[in-house]
Amino acid sequence: MRLFVSIPLSDDMKLSLANVQSFLKKQGVRGSFTPVENLHITLAFIGEYPDADYVSQALSGVCFSPFCLSLSGFGQFGNIWWAGLEKSPELDKLAKKLRFSLERAGVPHDKKKFSPHMTLVRRAEGDPSAVVIPKASMQVKSFCLMRSDFAKRGMIYTPLAEFSAADK
């Protein structure tokens, strides 16, 4: 099964990003827009791995306190357009901790440098120069182990396990 670890977005954050996507569509941008229900922040991409329970067990020891994330900026990885986040030492620390837990357990994952973002459009065609990312923030209280499956209408993401922050 295809697995990744992510932070689910709050409804307010999803609404803000959906408004950006709507703006892009009105500006004539074409491409594969990420469905609002699939918007998330990937912390680690695992890929094909047969044992989600083992991965969940490896992640269960990752401790963190709740923290705030805020939208900031727009960028591109080639024809993939994304919304960014304000610098967050807490987010970087969480990503580092959970990637270390995966490595210690022998669970392979993408070793690319952590670059927090939310993918808005894949295979984007158009002019991104007028894009403005609105102010929006959310409290991070958990992260999830997710399964992704290919379907006729795009990817379906299913949460397999949720890991909550420790109360302060």
Q: Which residue has the tokens 């949720």?
A: 162
Active-site choice (97, 117, 141, 147)? 117
Q: Which of 162, 154, 147 is nearest to 52 (CA)?
A: 147
Residues 6+ apart with CB under 8 A from 150: none
The Cα diameter of the chain in Å comes to 47
Active-site choice (14, 40, 99, 109)? 40
Task: Kindly report the number of other CB atoms within 10 A of residue 78's CB atom.
Answer: 8
The verdict on whether 40 is a catalytic residue reads yes
Task: Kindly report the number of other CB atoms within 10 A of residue 115's CB atom.
Answer: 12
Which burial class, exposed, middle or buried, applies to 22 when counting CB atoms under 10 A from its CB (0-12, 13-18, 19+)?
A: exposed
SS3 142: strand
Q: Which of 120, 132, 138 is nearest to 11 (CA)?
A: 138
Task: Give the catalytic positions in this structure.
Answer: 40, 117
